[in-house]
Structure 1
Amino acid sequence: MTDFATRAEAATAAMREVFPATPLARNDYLSDRFGADVWLKREDLTPVRSYKLRGAFNAMRKLAGGRVACASAGNHAQGVAWMCRHLGVDGVIFMPVTTPGQKIDKTRLFGGDRVEVRLTGDFFDATLAAAQAFCAESGAHFLSPFDDDDVIEGQGSVAVEILQQMETLPDLIVVPVGGGGLSAGMLAYFRACGKVPDIRYVEPSGGASLTAALARGEPVTLDSLDNFVDGAAVARIGARTFDILRQVPPQHVLRVPENRICITIQELLNTEGIVLEPAGALSIDALRDLGPEIEGRRVVCVATGGNFDFERLPDVKERAMRYAGLKKYYVIRMPQRPGALRDFLDLLGPDDNIARFEYLKKSARNFGSVLIGIESSAPQAFARLEARMEESGLPARDLTADPLVSELVV
């Protein structure tokens, strides 16, 4: 056993004075669905509802004193704030001006009078620059959300607990990847103690920074980033974390579509009563892609967080329906004559429901454009509807898969 394993185990033991180990429990619903023995490591059940508390604790307990500062719009901010109050450390937390009020309020609640929240910049890059400038001027310790040796060591406590909670090593562990702190910490611990299970790493399709780094052989900055999975959407994986992950086989890194994650969020909420944020559902959603590979095997999925803002629920439902093929948007050229709308309504099937309708009447034209959103009970219903529209001379353009147009009109 190497020094990293010893330190990670010491960090885990120290955490027990602050918060209990998170549950590792078999999930019957997922096990039956995928024909596997599926267990969930419930990091959504820490005091701040994410694993970020671990790295913040380990890094901050080693400080000789003074203030800490960080830049975050989510779980890292809350983990640092909670630890500031618990350890009696003063902290300054920089958050973008655009951060939802719910997250700002929770950060202030966790930190109490030990934390000052500063809202700076519309985008995270500006917020990060402000935090780093503050540290350079004041001498405060900047606490990275992932690219820090002590943070990586603290996140490795998830792996320590899994081995403590299971009688035998699981056949497969599925872990999300953002900046790489959690995945690097877990892999480093397994290597250090000589017990390395099969591991799959999961990234959101719009933020696949590990995939890009493995292809280049070094961290690279993504040209574009989809921020929907905000807890794991990182444009550039950490340098320290990639040093640990650089030997990961590229075929062991899965990329899952953001909209499909929404289906998983809904299913877990409706069937299990488990509330997960998009990043927290990443590893569970990846089970869909693993398929026969996991049949009959013991699989541990790390559910990394449950800080879900329910104001996002309509967006989650919308994305889930579109990915499942149960909702589509069309632009239709409709003749400007009495009864034209009635004729169109007659084309709808018994399970078709109009969810959106905008009719822009142009008095100087013979035809007007209609934006229409339709929900149905099965994807096949849309093929039948499109065939009926074509036969009736109502040309329709499907906007559902057009990301630019969809963003503007949906």
Structure 2
Amino acid sequence: MTDFAKAARAATAAMRDLFPATPLQRNAFLSERYDADIWLKREDLSPVRSYKIRGAFNAMTKRLAEDPERRLFVCASAGNHAQGVAFVCRHFGVRGEIFMPVTTPRQKIEKTRAFGGDAVEIRLVGDYFDDTLAAAQAFCEESGAVFLSPFDDPDVMEGQASVAVEMLEQLGKAPDRLILPVGGGGLSSGVLSYFKATGAATRVKLVEPLGGMSLAAALKAGHPVTLPVVDNFVDGAAVARIGAAPFEVLGATDPGDVLAAPENRICVTISELLNIEGIVLEPAGALAIDALQDLGAAIRGQSVVCVTSGGNFDFERLPEVKERAMRYRGVKKYFILRMPQRPGALKDFLALLGPGDDIARFEYLKKSARNFGSVLIGIEARDAADFEALFTRMAECGFAYRDITEDEVLAEFLI
């Protein structure tokens, strides 16, 4: 057994003073869908509803072992890492300064405060995470506090490897396949390091959100690079730059083993798991399950473990998730209709709707010409194919329209 494997197992054993192993559960619904043996490693059921508590615990344990007099720890995070650090600070009886962006949802702030109690102080600094991070690091330099990175730290990676330690013990063998979400790379690099150290013969696929593929970009460049634009919808994994320490491990990954999960498709997965299985996952937590459809027949008959990395879902986002899921499935569309300015025109248009078509949005934008007006219309259908028939009827009756469902610029301003 290598030194890394021994350290990861020791870290896992130490964590039992903090929380029990998260469950590894076979999922009958997914197993039947993909004709495979699908297991979920439920990190969404940790005390802070994500795996981040593992890395925070291990890193803090190491720092305190080096200097038991250390009393102040700092992190910058808008989500799961902040909650993990807060929980661990309370456990060890040390002080924590949690830097969060001013724009952080109140729910996440309150949960971090609840986990940390009197042990932590929350500082809201900056509109963007980069500003928050800079403020946290500046505070560390001034105060001599210890900065706890969310992923770019070998001790954090070692702590996240405890996911693999538990998984192999619970399954009793190495699975045929493992699907891991990737953000900054702490979880994936830790788990892959443990698999390599123990000789586990498992094929691993890594999944990034389509709007934040920092690992794929780093593999193409041969080194970590900063993405110019990141879609923050999958906030637990939308990282502009993969960590340097994790990339030392992940840099050997075959680019073909890195999958991209479209944000709107992830919403379909979130909705299905909630409605069918009663499992509440945040967008990053659904990445691994969402990627199953990209593997399809390749996993038939195999044992597959998906790591559900987090369940800190703010239910105020549920309408957005539902909306994006419907748009991905093609059952909701938005278009701008050129409506004739005459009596009965609206009635004529309504007569074109099918029995399963429902108007979810209707808004006059402006009178674009003397005889016509522009109308923003949102329609929900029972089936995506219903729209083709509707648009055919509209064209036959002379109603001009423009589908703006996938037009990011117009959708941002109008929808």
Normalised by the size of structure 1, how large is the TM-score? 0.99
Whether 1:4 and 2:4 are equivalent positions in the alignment is yes
Deviation at 1:363, TM superposition (A): 9.4
Distance 2:102 2:406 in 1: 31
Deviation at 1:196, TM superposition (A): 3.9
Deviation at 1:2, TM superposition (A): 1.1
Structure-1 residue corresponding to 2:115: 110
Q: Which amino acid aligns with 1:359?
A: Y
- 1:162-181 paired onto structure 2 within 5 Å: 162-181=167-186
Deviation at 1:364, TM superposition (A): 6.8
Structure 1 unpaired stretches of 5+:
none
The alignment partner of 2:367 has SS state of coil
Structure 2 unpaired stretches of 5+:
none
Structure-2 residue corresponding to 1:246: 251
- 1:68-79 paired onto structure 2 within 5 Å: 68-79=73-84
The alignment partner of 1:6 has SS state of helix
Structure-1 residue corresponding to 2:34: 34
Match of 1:338 among 337, 340, 343: 343
Q: Is the CA contact 2:189–2:247 (under 8 Å) kept in the aligned structure 1?
A: yes
Q: Which amino acid aligns with 2:376?
A: L
Question: Alignment RMSD, CA only?
Answer: 0.9
Deviations 1:379-406 (A, max 9, x none): 1111111111111111110000111111
Distance 1:250 1:160 in 2: 26
The alignment partner of 1:76 has SS state of helix
Q: Is the CA contact 2:368–2:374 (under 8 Å) kept in the aligned structure 1?
A: no
The alignment partner of 1:13 has SS state of helix
The alignment partner of 1:62 has SS state of helix
Distance 2:113 2:387 in 1: 48
Q: Is the CA contact 1:95–1:120 (under 8 Å) kept in the aligned structure 2?
A: yes
Structure-2 residue corresponding to 1:90: 95
Structure-1 residue corresponding to 2:387: 382
The alignment partner of 2:391 has SS state of helix
Distance 2:332 2:37 in 1: 33
Deviation at 1:327, TM superposition (A): 0.2
Q: Is the CA contact 2:210–2:262 (under 8 Å) kept in the aligned structure 1?
A: yes
Match of 2:209 among 204, 212, 236: 204
The alignment partner of 1:362 has SS state of strand
Distance 2:139 2:172 in 1: 47
Distance 2:148 2:166 in 1: 24
The alignment partner of 1:234 has SS state of coil
Structure-2 residue corresponding to 1:46: 46
Q: Is the CA contact 1:187–1:196 (under 8 Å) kept in the aligned structure 2?
A: no
Deviation at 1:360, TM superposition (A): 3.5
Normalised by the size of structure 2, how large is the TM-score? 0.98
Distance 1:76 1:255 in 2: 23
Q: Is the CA contact 1:36–1:296 (under 8 Å) kept in the aligned structure 2?
A: yes
- 1:4-403 paired onto structure 2 within 5 Å: 4-63=4-63, 64=67, 65-360=70-365, 362=367, 365-403=370-408
Q: Is the CA contact 1:170–1:299 (under 8 Å) kept in the aligned structure 2?
A: yes
Q: Which amino acid aligns with 1:51?
A: Y
Q: Is the CA contact 1:39–1:301 (under 8 Å) kept in the aligned structure 2?
A: yes
